[in-house]
Structure formats: C-alpha cells, structure tokens
Amino acid sequence: MPTDPGSATPSKPAARRHRAPRPRSGTYTVHDVAALAGVSSVTVSRYFNEPHRVSEALREKLARVIEQTGYVPNQVARILATNQGGVVGAVMQNVTSPTFADMVRGMMDVAERNGLQLLLANSNFSRESEARALRTFAGWRPRALIVTRSDHAPEADALLSTLKIPIVEAWEVHAGRPFHQVGFSQLLVGRMLAAHFIAQGATRIRFVLNGLTEDGRAIRRSEGYAKAMRDAGLATDIWRASATDDVEAGREAMAAIAALPPEERPRAVIFANDNMAITAILRAPAHRLSIPGDLAIAGFGDTPLGGVTTPSLTTVRPDSYAIGSRALEIVVASLRDGATQTVPQVQELDCMLVVRDSSRVAR
C-alpha cells in the first residue's frame, strides 16, 4: 500500500545552541549565572578572579553558561566590594601628540607587566577638562592617578589632595608639589634653546606660542628663554598667535615675520612645538624666506617628521617613554609598599638638544 507523503515522520531538526532566557532587566547578573550553573555567586566570582580555586569540571560548566548568556562581570561592583580595582587613570594634555604617544606606550608596558589596566582621558590643555576627568576617574576608585600637568585648577588640586591613592605628576618637575613627579624642567629647555642661538651670535631671537593660553608648559619654556635672553643682555620677544591650532599658528607666525622690514625681523625663532616649526619651514618659500639663511628655526618635541624636512629641524627631545614607564613604576612600588603620598619621589630626567640644519645661523 503506497505511503501517504503527508503522514511521513518529519525529520529531526538540526540541534541548535541553547540560549539562556534573558532576564527582565535585560542584563545578566552574577546571581543569574550562578543559578543557571547551579553554583553559588562566590564560585562565579572565583571563576573570574581566582580560576585556580575552581575545579576543572565547574570551570567548563561555567564557561558554557557564560557563553550562552554573554555575561560580563560588573567591574564597578567588584571595585566597591574589594576597594581594589585594577585601573590606573591617566589624564593626558594631548593624546594626538606623537611625543605623548611614546609616554603612553611607556606607561602601558609597565601596567601590563603588573596586571594593571591603563585608562586615558584627554584634556586638550584645559584645566576645566582635566578637573572633569579627575572627578570621573575618582568615582571609579582607581588604584592610582597620573596627570601630565602640575598647574591644576584649584578644585582639581583640592580633589587630588583628598585621595588616598598614589598620584604622579608626569612630564615636568615643578618645585613645591606634594605629589610624586617624573619629568624635566621646562625652564631649562627654554634656556637651552635660547643659548643655542645666542652662542651662534644671534641677537634678535623670537619665541612663538600658539593661542592655547592654558598650555602652561609652553609658557614656562618661554620664561626660560626670557631668562637666558636677559642674562645675555638681550631684549626678549615673545609672540603669541591667535590660532590655537598648531598649523594655523605656524602659518600666522611666518606671515607676521615676513611682513616686517628685513632689518626688524628676528634672526632666529624658537617655536613652542615641532608642529609649528615644521609648518614654518614649509611656508618659508611662499614668503621668499630661506631657512636657515634668513631665519634660523628650532622647535620642541622631536616629532619624527622633523628629521626629514628640508632643512631638517633642530629640536629638543624629551625622554617620553622613560617618563611614562617611570611614572607607572612609582605607582607599582607605592601599591606594593602600601604608600601613598607620604614621601613624594622626584625624578628629573635630562632632555637632549638635537641640532640639525634648520638652526644654523649664517654669519
């Protein structure tokens, strides 16, 4: 008797991975995972924090449940429960700068070796933005904080003084600060650049700043320049562009110099950073100015591009990687020893004057 096709036994559907039903809150908690795995919440926490204390069978079971649920541990809850997060917060002034990138790399290398997680915030040289970032970081109860300026807003200084964690001011050293410091003296850098031109016989030397009035480090470099000029019996010439963007500030500075009568133009110019100095080199031909024949130039930061411009750029090279790595090493040592700010460390590192073709003053 022919078989009725409609009465045939349907084939068994392909097995599908079981997905745990999502809780009403939309997010799985440690308690949901524990219930699905048939273990305690403590066991789930141990699975993440101390897996060696959980049997292999339970680890495999929990791994399946976690895969099914997509559960991610709540780090805030962990920090509140243990008062020990693995986070170190760092507030940078300009994360797009190649100079600061090397510093971040130094911090990250030490953090990773010591089981710490580095979180970055960018203040773009603003004290107000830095204060907001510090308040946010403080709410996360970090193990330590690294800041890249020492002239904070009053509210930021007040907040830092109340925190019972290691705090490191990295990038420059500033006398009289109550926190750990790693870096160099901006005043000495300004003096070094001015002395380089003075030694070559230049008497009209200009220092160019961009429009970022809260970039205190560049201002302190200009103060070092001014001190060297006064000590040599020379007039100071600190010029500030209206533009806050480095490229626009460099363009503005070169247009202003070109507009001066030749006998009034500076013979040498120190730019607050390499980006402005490189822009000046690139714009010089448009103003019929020869670098260094008509105008000798130097910058700060040792941006890689400065070594391949024509002429190549004279600059000052800070040891950015060492500053970052040493800042994290101070954090690690403080956490290990249980110290906070009782005995602040100060590590001052040298900067290197890198003399290239752009700064040779013709005689």
The CA distance from 191 to 189, in Å, is 5
Q: Tell me the one-letter amino acid at 178.
A: P
pLDDT for the residue 25 = 43
pLDDT for the residue 24 = 46
The CA distance from 193 to 211, in Å, is 21
| Residues whose CB is less than 8 angstroms from the CB of residue 304 and which lie 6 or more positions away in sequence, other chains included | 98
The CA distance from 193 to 348, in Å, is 19
pLDDT confidence bin for 76, thresholds 50/70/90: low
Return the CATH superfamily for domain 30-79: lambda repressor-like DNA-binding domains (1.10.260.40)
pLDDT for the residue 17 = 46
The SS3 assignment for 198 reads helix
What pLDDT, in 10s, does the model give residues 199-220?
Answer: 999 999 999 999 999 899 999 9
Q: Are 177 and 150 in contact (CB under 8 A)?
A: yes
The CA distance from 173 to 186, in Å, is 8
pLDDT confidence bin for 231, thresholds 50/70/90: very high
Cis peptide before 304 (omega within 30 of 0): no
What pLDDT, in 10s, does the model give residues 59-72?
Answer: 899 889 888 888 87
The SS3 assignment for 319 reads coil
Alpha helices in 163-309 (DSSP H): 186-198, 216-231, 246-258, 274-283
**How far, rounded to the nearest angstrom, does the alpha carbon of residue 291 sit from its chain's CA centroid?**
32
What pLDDT, in 10s, does the model give residues 245-259?
Answer: 999 999 999 999 999
Place of tokens 């000052």: 316
The burial class, CB within 10 Å (0-12 / 13-18 / 19+), for 43 is buried
pLDDT for the residue 77 = 59
**Does position 10 have pLDDT exceeding 90, yes or no?**
no
| Residues whose CB is less than 8 angstroms from the CB of residue 170 and which lie 6 or more positions away in sequence, other chains included | 103, 146, 147, 148, 181, 182, 183, 323, 324, 327
**Does position 91 have pLDDT exceeding 60, yes or no?**
yes
The angle, 0 to 180 degrees and rounded to 10, between the axes of the packed helices 186-198 and 216-231 is: 40
pLDDT confidence bin for 267, thresholds 50/70/90: very high
Average pLDDT over residues 281-303: 97
pLDDT confidence bin for 48, thresholds 50/70/90: confident
The CATH number for 84-185+320-351, chosen from 3.40.50.2300, 3.10.580.10, 3.40.630.40, 3.40.50.880, is 3.40.50.2300
> Under CATH, which number does the domain 186-317+353-359 receive?
3.40.50.2300
pLDDT for the residue 45 = 80
Q: Are 354 and 315 in contact (CB under 8 A)?
A: yes
pLDDT confidence bin for 21, thresholds 50/70/90: low
pLDDT for the residue 341 = 52
Is 30-79's fold the same as 186-317+353-359's?
no
What pLDDT, in 10s, does the model give residues 309-344?
Answer: 999 999 999 999 999 999 999 999 999 887 655 689
**Does position 9 have pLDDT exceeding 80, yes or no?**
no
Question: 316-350: buried (b, 16+ CB within 10 Å) or exposed (e) per residue?
Answer: bbbbbbbbbbbbbbbbbebbeeeebbeebbebeee
Average pLDDT over residues 25-47: 83
- Tell me the percentage of the chain whose pLDDT exceeds 70: 88
C-alpha closest to that of 330 among 208, 170, 206:
170
pLDDT confidence bin for 221, thresholds 50/70/90: very high
pLDDT for the residue 318 = 97
Structure-token pair, residue 304: 């890689």
Q: Are 181 and 149 in contact (CB under 8 A)?
A: no
Average pLDDT over residues 41-55: 83
**Does position 13 have pLDDT exceeding 60, yes or no?**
no
Domains of the chain, by residue range, sit at 30-79, 84-185+320-351, 186-317+353-359
C-alpha closest to that of 222 among 202, 236, 234:
236
C-alpha closest to that of 222 among 233, 243, 201, 208:
208
